[in-house]
Every structure is written in structure tokens, then in C-alpha cells.
Amino acid sequence: MKAILRNTHVQTFLGWVLGGYLILILRSVRWRHENLEAVERSLNASSGGLIGLLWHGRIPLSLATAPQWWRRNTRALISASADGEFLAQAVDRAGFPAIRGSSAKRGDSKKTRGAAAAFREALSWLKQGGVLVITPDGPRGPGEVVAEGTIQIARRSGAEVFLMGIAVRPAWRLNTWDKITWGLPFGRGAVVWVGPLKVPRDVDDAAMEVLQRDWSAQLTAATERAEVLAAGAR
């Protein structure tokens, strides 16, 4: 099955299907936003780079934030694995070219070099004033835990960071490690923006761990709040 899914033609087809789905959900769902003025201020007032974070399980809903990010040159950090190829193709069709790279296991020198190259490309992009969208718990998890690499990108770039909690009702949530959620067209959706956040350049290891826990808790809370709003509650 893996060999079939990694076939070039199959990947292209899946990328086309997912790209179409992303656009359909953006266009057909009735979206509401909370704290949108915060990201609007940063988009209007600053020419510096910006980072948007959403959980890996909310990728199918991610284009809810596109009307904001389309106003800037925006790229998405996508896993360099073969399994990430169709996702990279899908987000490219949606207007967000990918930077390919992810964390590497210790001892895997090839992946380590690839991760380092992606890290440098991400920093360069942000320093040019671009926007970078990241799933900070991807591609392997653990789910809803912000990886250290995400904090390092924010620290090294000095970019402002926005957490993006996204939800749609009705939706279909799978029992996967990331609880991937597929929204149904013509439903209700919500995006909760948290930020801008910044990482001090002189942060030490202990403070980094605190930031990881804090951002993880805030992004999960924002996602839960989006679920409440999508359900029609206040």
C-alpha cells in the first residue's frame, strides 16, 4: 500500500484532490474569526516576517486563514518525506509553495542535512518579510506538542508568531495520532487567532521548555475555543 501511495502519479492525483478540497472548504464554509484584528495589525504595521502555527490534525481546514496570508508572500513548512509530497503539491495549488524539511532522528545524517537546509531556507524567507505556516507537532508527533525546532525558528528569525485554532462543524475526526479533522462543505467554521507572540533571542534551555509547554497549551485552547464558536456558541 505504501508503494502505491508513493507512486508519482498517485501523489499527483492526491495532491489535486486535496488541493480542491482545501479550496472547497474555504469557499463553502461560513467562517467567523476571533481576535482577527491582532493579525491584521501585524500585517498592516510590519514588513517583517510572520509565523502561523496550527496543529497537524487541522491541515484539512487550514485554508480558513488564507485570506489573511494571501496578502503576503506565504510558504508552508512541509515534511520532506515521500508521504509529504502530495500535501506539498496541494498547498502549492492553494497558493502556498512549500519549504520541504522536518526534524530528523539522531544518526540519520541525510535527514539531518535536509532539516538544516530547510531551517536555513525558513530563516531566509522570514528575514525577507515572508510568512511561514508551520504545523509544530508534525509530521510524526507527539500530537499537540510544539516541537523545539519551531521555537528555534521563531527565536532566530525574530518573527512575530500567531497561533491559529481552527474548527468546522459538522466534521469527521479520524482516530489517528493527530486526530485529523475533515470538515464537511457548507457548514460553520471558526478561526481563533492568538498573538502576536515572540521568542527572546537570549532564551535559555529551561525557558525554551516553558515556551513549548505554554504555546502547546495556548494552541490547544485556541482550537477548543474554535470548536465552541463553530458549534454556534459564544
pLDDT of residue 11: 78
Task: Give the number of C-alpha atoms closer than 13 A to the C-alpha of residue 225, restricted to the C-beta side.
Answer: 17
Top pLDDT among 54 and 232 is at 54
Strand (E) or helix (H) holding 135: none
- Report d(CA 165, CA 32) in Å as an integer: 12
- Report d(CA 58, CA 183) in Å as an integer: 9
Radius of gyration of the chain (CA): 17
* Residue pair 168/223 in contact by the 8 Å Cβ criterion: no
Residue 148 has pLDDT above 80, yes or no: yes
Residue 233 has pLDDT above 70, yes or no: no
* Residue pair 219/165 in contact by the 8 Å Cβ criterion: yes
* CB atoms near residue 151 (< 10 Å): 20
Q: Choose the weakest-confidence range: 6-20, 48-62, 96-110, 203-217.
A: 96-110
Residue 60 has pLDDT above 90, yes or no: yes
Q: 63-118, pLDDT tens digit by residue?
A: 999 999 999 899 999 887 766 788 888 888 888 889 987 554 445 455 556 678 88
pLDDT of residue 234: 63
CA distances from 196 to 43, 105, 112 (A): 11, 31, 30
Q: What is the pTM of this model?
A: 0.89
- Mean pLDDT for 198-218 is 92
- Report d(CA 39, CA 160) in Å as an integer: 10
Mean predicted lDDT score pLDDT of the chain:
88
Q: Which CATH architecture has domain 2-230?
A: 3-Layer(aba) Sandwich (3.40)
pLDDT of residue 116: 85
pLDDT of residue 138: 77
- Mean pLDDT for 137-147 is 88
- Report d(CA 105, CA 107) in Å as an integer: 6
pLDDT of residue 162: 97
Maximum Cα interatomic distance, the chain, rounded to a whole number of Å:
50
Band (216; pLDDT cuts 50, 70, 90)? very high
**Torsions phi, psi of 162, nearest 5?**
-120, 130
The closest alpha carbon to 53, from 41, 69, 42, belongs to 69
Strand order in the sheet with 74-78: 30-34, 181-197, 160-173, 50-53, 131-134, 74-78, 98-100
